[in-house]
Amino acid sequence: MTPRRSPAARLLRLFAILAVSWLGLTWLAVLVLRFVPPWTSAVMMERRVGALVHRDPGFRLQHRWVPWAQVSPYVPLAMVAGEDQKFPFHHGFDFDSIQDAMDAADEGRRLRGASTISQQTAKNLFLWNGRSFVRKGLEAYFTVLIELTWPKQRILEVYMNIAELGDGIYGVGAASDAFFRQPPSRLGPAQAARLAAVLPSPRRFRVDRPSGYVLGRANWIQQQMAQLGGPGYLQSRQPPRVQRQR
């Protein structure tokens, strides 16, 4: 006769099965999305549900996937220049920026974000908005999966297609239509910089009616784009000396 397992052993076995299933399913989802354009994201779904719950009749979500080859090379460069200049070189986490943010918090200075484009892609695609330890832990997990499975160009392609760039406007395709009335392939450096300038607060700042802050940040991003060497920087092998906006 096969000896009966104790309740603790059965519970441990169940947890092991669930853990292995979770790892397999999440990795499979990340692997599939390396090749298949995501038709939506967790953050977009959260926004849709929120609009339904609050019965917001004026809300309209706009999103249109645009492949990398059909986007001006200035757009991904502007996002890297404004959000994560070490993106081509790190493996998902910018530990120098994390340390700087911790030092700023210890000194009582204004907190600044330390999330990389890889982390933001993981959060936007798979998770929800918020600052809990659970969400940050899951964000780190999905960031590792993405960095192990996707090339850098794919991470940027997905990011610029799911990032919110206006109130309910997600991705460069919808943003280009809404703000510039032209395809994303025709966006120039100034327009790309203005899109990147509203990140990460696209509901507070406006691309179409930019405040003085947005215009100043867009000018700074354009300067960084030039200093990084233009679109060829995304294939560079030498990390930059990052200049933070004051």
Residues 50-95 pLDDT 10s: 888 888 888 889 999 999 999 999 999 999 999 999 999 988 887 7
Which range is least confidently modeled, 103-107, 112-116, 188-192, 210-214?
A: 103-107
| Residue 37: strand, helix, or coil | coil
At residue 172, does pLDDT exceed 90?
yes
At residue 212, does pLDDT exceed 80?
yes
Residues in Cβ contact with 134 at an 8 Å cutoff, skipping those fewer than 6 apart: none
Residues 51 and 226: their CA atoms lie apart, in Å, by: 40
pLDDT, tens digit (0-9, with 9 covering 90-100), for 124-160? 999 988 778 888 999 999 999 999 999 999 999 999 9
At residue 18, does pLDDT exceed 90?
no
Residue 161 lies in a domain: yes
The residues with which 155 forms a beta bridge, in sequence order, are none
Binned at pLDDT 50, 70 and 90, residue 99 comes out as low
Phi, psi of 86 (to 5 degrees): -90, 10
Q: Rank 18-22, 58-62, 126-130, 209-213 by mean pLDDT and report only the highest.
A: 209-213
Domain that holds residue 153: 42-53+60-235
Angle at 244 between CA 108 and CA 213, to 5 degrees: 85
Residue 32 lies in a domain: no
Residue 141 lies in a domain: yes
Residue 3 lies in a domain: no
- The pLDDT score that the predictor gives to residue 235 is 78
Q: How many domains does the chain have?
A: 1
Binned at pLDDT 50, 70 and 90, residue 246 comes out as very low
Residue 116 lies in a domain: yes
- Sheet with 169-170, strands from edge to edge, namely 62-63, 169-170, 164-166
Residue type, 11: L
Residue type, 76: P
The residues with which 63 forms a beta bridge, in sequence order, are 170
Residue 84 lies in a domain: yes
Binned at pLDDT 50, 70 and 90, residue 14 comes out as confident
Q: Are 80 and 233 in contact (CB under 8 A)?
A: yes
What's the sign of the alpha-carbon dihedral 182, 188, 190, 193? positive
pLDDT, tens digit (0-9, with 9 covering 90-100), for 174-184? 999 999 999 99
Q: Are 119 and 84 in contact (CB under 8 A)?
A: no
Output the domain CATH number for residue 148.
1.10.3810.10
Residue 184 lies in a domain: yes
| Residue 170: strand, helix, or coil | strand
Residues 64 and 14: their CA atoms lie apart, in Å, by: 41
Residues 105 and 112: their CA atoms lie apart, in Å, by: 9
Residue 1 lies in a domain: no
